[in-house]
Amino acid sequence: MLDTQLLIMDRVYNVIMERVNASIVSYTTAVSAGVLSCYVGLKVYRRQQVKKKALKKREESRKALQDVQRSVAVEITGPTANKRKEILSLTLPQLSQQLTDGQLSAVQVLQAFQEKATAVNDELNCLTEPIPDALVRAQNVDAADQPLGLLHGVPFSIKENYLIKGMVTTMGVTKYLDTPADHEDAVIVQVLMKQGAVPFVKTNIPQTLLSIGCSNPVFGNTLNQVDPTRTPGGSSGGEAALVKGGGSILGFGSDIGGSVRIPAHFCGICGFKPTGQRISGRGLMRGSPVQGVISTPGLMARDVDSLALGMKALLVPDMFQLDPQVVPMPFRQETYEDKKPMRIGYFTSLHSCPPTPSMGRAVTMAKEALEKAGHTLVAFDPPDALRAIVDMALRMLTADSGRTFSTKWLKDEVIDEYLEGQIYLWTMPHYLRKIVGFLLKPFWPRVARSISHRLIGSVYDLWQRLAERETYIEQFVDELNKKNIDLLLCPALGMPACKPEHAGKTLVATAYTLLFNLLNFPAGVVPVTTVTEEDDRLLDDWRGYGNDAFDRSMKETTKGAVGLPVAVQCVALPWQEEKCLRLMKEVETLCPM
Ligand SMILES: CCCCCCCC/C=C\CCCCCCCC(=O)NCCS(=O)(=O)O
């Protein structure tokens, strides 16, 4: 009897447990499915909200730009239109002279540039927003009893990452759309305004600023006027596109790996980045607070004299007071105007990153012209460039394993279509870098090396890298001294303007610009030629470093670039901005475009 009872109880227990188990499984499945769909739903919802927010801002900025455009519209054939054409054809020194003499008014000049800038924007999408009180500022300049400074009444444009009180600064990231700058304008803007200049528009950038393209989910993609299927470059791409289109006479950007020089070269204008702390970077939002690769503001214009005047206007006591970290050294006009023959080092290629054919040809062209003009050109081979670019610069740029990207800038953001692949390069985990590097090494050693480079794992590691950089700078300077040279002429980049979809795959081309951020030398680019049919033919046999993935992307994007501008790069020793600009001016004079 007891046995039967036990058996029945056992069966009942089993039946109950089976049911309980079954319901636990279905309950757990249901809960997990619920949690998962809530998570996915929330993600999708958040994404939509981010997209909506971005589109709302884009629409607002489009309307604000249209309002400006309407407010300055005039009869195309009337006298005002003719005067505006005349204003737009002047160089910066001519324009500031005529404003100072009272031949032109600040309002008249501002309106000419507002009309042109908005027209260029209709074509290229290079502007982000108009600066709201530009007209009032121009009116105040006109009301002054005497000229206010070197740039009395000159309108200028700034990259989106320059803070302007009351305006948002986003770097193409929507989480910053709700926080307009409440403090003060960037120091550069303050100093230029004290010199009588009028900031009037902000220009487009790539999301996060660490790209050589110019696209972001808030303001969209900017086009290159010379070939709209190509990018104007980055990160100061909107600025270069605007200056090239004639919508601004003086533009300001920032540069940690070439962001002023690359877009200037892609668009066919002049661009200059000084030594870090020669001009103030205070009030600029940065893509990365990296150590050892120096980010600095820079200038863009159609000619070198305009860059020199821009520098002169900045290097004044107002700047040294507003930012005491800036070296208080005024512009040395006599060095810029010096006529003594120069001794210049040159190279047409870095062994670790050979440029596509037009880039080396441009250097040879400028070298021969300089020699003919009486200067001495000496071959120079930058020491250990691959180690400098990969083991020092790239390693320091990715020192935080991409955490600034993934947690600070891009968490819960829509990532720009042209940035997606590149983000992976910054954020790839160390173990994966090692595996990918190991697999690629036998076929593409350079690609393997730049992917699998060791991340910086400790403060000790960081100190070692910073010390290595110091030693490298000394080694580089020693090599220059041995040859008795303090100026360099070299390719502006590894290739002419690329297509936006190739911007992330051709970063290797930045070896030429990044090197001088690592060294912290002043450097600028001047257009000297355009890509020819012959350059395009030579490209067919071009293999670069070893026809690896980097070379193939550079080749693919360079194919068909006939007619695109090609610049050379001029470089000087730290604090020798005036010498660098002098070499740029000489190249510009000897190789007119
Ligand atoms: C010779 C071998 C090369 C190996 C591969 C190197 C790959 C290079 C990878 C990355 C280079 C980073 C360049 C990033 C573009 C920089 C754009 C820029 O300057 N942005 C400005 C940011 S700022 O904070 O406003 O200054």
pLDDT in tens, 137-189: 999 999 999 999 999 999 999 999 999 999 999 999 999 998 888 889 999 99
Residues with Cβ within 8 Å of residue 452, at least 6 apart in sequence: 433, 434, 436, 437, 438, 441
Residue of 157, 215, 235, 295 with catalytic role: 235
In the chain, the percentage of residues whose pLDDT exceeds 70 is: 97
- Which atom in ligand 1 lies closest to the alpha carbon of residue 390? 4
Q: How far is Cα 260 from Cα 234, in angstroms, rounded to an integer?
A: 7
What's this model's pTM, rounded to 2 decimal places? Answer: 0.93
Using one digit for the tens of pLDDT, what is the confidence trace for 279-308?
999 999 987 777 899 999 999 999 999 999
Q: How far is Cα 101 from Cα 93, in angstroms, rounded to an integer?
A: 12
Is there an atom of ligand 1 within 6 Å of 508 CB?
yes
Q: Whose CA is nearest to atom 7 of ligand 1?
A: 508
Q: Whose CA is nearest to atom 9 of ligand 1?
A: 507
**Domain spans, the chain:** 57-327, 343-397+471-593, 400-455
- Which atom in ligand 1 lies closest to the alpha carbon of residue 449? 4
CATH code matching the domain that covers 343-397+471-593, chosen among 3.40.190.10, 3.30.390.10, 3.90.1300.10, 3.20.20.70: 3.90.1300.10
Residue 172 in marked binding region? no
> Active site includes 553?
no
Buried b (16+ CB within 10 A) or exposed e, 278-287: bbbbbbbbbb
Fold of 57-327: Amidase signature (AS) enzymes (3.90.1300)
**Do the two domains 57-327 and 343-397+471-593 of this chain adopt the same fold?**
yes
Residue 257 in marked binding region? yes
Residue 329 in this model has a pLDDT that exceeds 90? yes
Residue of 57, 116, 159, 273 with catalytic role: 159
Q: Report the pLDDT averaged over residues 39-49.
A: 80
Using one digit for the tens of pLDDT, what is the confidence trace for 47-93?
888 889 999 999 999 999 999 999 999 888 888 999 999 999 999 99
Residue 43 in this model has a pLDDT that exceeds 90? no
Element (H, E) at 273: strand 270-273
Residue 345 tokens, joined: 């080092």
Tell me the C-alpha to C-alpha distance, in Å, between residue 519 and each of 145, 389, 393, 399.
46, 11, 10, 18
